[in-house]
Amino acid sequence: EIPILAATRPLEIVKPNIYSLAMAGIATMVAGFGLIGLVRFHQKIFSFFSTKELVLIALFATTIFVTVSVPTTLFFTIINALLGPASFLVIGFINEMLYYALLTVLIMLIRKPWTITLVSAVRVLLGGILLGAFTPFTLVYVGVSTILLELGFLLSRRGENGLILALTFGICDALSVHIDFQISIAFYRLFYADWYIWTMIVISGFAYTVIGVLVGKHISLGLQAITE
């Protein structure tokens, strides 16, 4: 027997990404401890706010859900199909810029720790109940993102300087986007080009967030002038 055609192909063995597994594991533990702390001390957290402030937090959380979560969930597939890799430019405008503008307005009106935590909790609950957008990895991402933003809020001295708050939140959200990629790589075995990851981190994670915070800070100044 004489072979008609012979070909040699290199054998490539893809090993698990240790860095992604480590980042995903750390993020899961951090989010788990945060969730346990929230459940354990929820009464003390609620007592930290007045009834008026809790109503305002619930109102803003619902507004964020309607204007950010619902459009993103409904049109995510369509935008991805039309724009492909560039879809984050549109999705990020809603999911990052608009979200952080509304969130900044709230934390400027209620300059207290745990405000971001309560908004995030209400948003996740609404998304899970009304849209079915509830997975363990959602809890991990939201948990880590919330902890980073709470720390960023305290480090920026509760938003006294709008630019410092914007840069701090931009860094926090960029870290959150990076962690979200590592979770997807570790658990869903997805592969992304390095340029795409860095573009998402810089534009969607950092730039859109900074712009959103600055817009929210400007709006909050007008609202504070009206209330006074």
pLDDT of residue 132: 78
pLDDT (tens digit, 9 = 90+) per residue, 159-207? Answer: 889 999 999 999 999 999 999 999 988 888 777 888 999 999 999 999 9
Q: What are phi and psi of 17, to 5 degrees?
A: -80, 105
pTM of the model: 0.89
Average pLDDT, the chain: 89
pLDDT (tens digit, 9 = 90+) per residue, 66-123? Answer: 999 998 888 888 888 888 888 888 888 888 999 999 999 999 999 999 999 999 999 9
Phi-psi category of residue 7: left, alpha or beta, with phi > 0 → left and psi -120 to 50 → alpha: beta
Q: What is the C-alpha separation between 144 and 23, in angstroms, rounded?
A: 11
pLDDT (tens digit, 9 = 90+) per residue, 17-53? Answer: 789 999 999 999 999 999 999 999 999 999 999 999 9
Q: What is the C-alpha separation between 112 and 53, in angstroms, rounded?
A: 10
- The dihedral formed by the CA atoms of 29, 199, 213 and 82, expressed in degrees to the nearest 10: -100
pLDDT (tens digit, 9 = 90+) per residue, 123-145? Answer: 999 988 888 777 888 899 999 99
Angle at 89 between CA 85 and CA 93, to 5 degrees: 145
